[in-house]
Amino acid sequence: DDSLRESEEKFRALVENTTDLIWEIDADGKYTYVSPQIHTLLGYTPGETIGMTPFDLMPPEEAERVKRAFEEFSRDKRSINGLENINRHKDGHLVVMETSGIPILDKAGCLRGYRGIDRDVSERKHAEESLRLRSAALETAANAIAITRRDGIIQWINPAFTHLTGYDAPEAIGQNPRILNSGMNDRGVFEELWKTILAGQSWQGEITNRKKDGTLYIIEQT
């Protein structure tokens, strides 16, 4: 049937040219189909991986963790949605994948396997880890740090800000830094500050502020 053959060719072209890995496994977890993208993502050819399990491509501890999760999914015949797992490329480097799949059932409702898709999320995970490390650095910095919107409203402070000013996060976030205004600074200082930073440049200067308890303190601010 020409229409069926045309439909199959379109499906094959879609599967074989997508950037994600399309796969199918049997009830024992062994690959029965792997799309050509396996070579780009993990360095193996489809022929090398047929008969292997996804767990064979993972470091031992990760393989045990993911295998336990898979056994829970298969026991309940549940779909797999966004299961992150670490794989080892044929050349040795690690690749983080996000796996989703649906169960394959026979007419009697017995599990015959799974078919699904793997997406490389290594770059996303790297970016998330980088953000986590930067956040940790800001949180533990000895200097008081505040992040504001363009209009000056405080969005985030670190613990050192609370230690210095007496204002904790619920008190400071949503407020303007004017809550620290001592009234002892020349107005021109703040005009210069905002003019400079709104122009995309860094400003540095000395300011006298007032803590929550009224105590005055002098800071060198950047």
Instruction: List pLDDT tens digits, range 116-165.
Output: 999 999 998 888 888 888 888 888 899 999 999 999 999 999 999 999 99
pTM of the model: 0.61
pLDDT-based confidence at 3, cuts 50/70/90? low
Average pLDDT, the chain: 91
pLDDT-based confidence at 75, cuts 50/70/90? very high
Q: Is the pLDDT of residue 11 over 60?
A: no
* 209-222 residue pLDDT tens: 999 999 999 999 99
In whole angstroms, give the CA distance from residue 104 to residue 115. 7
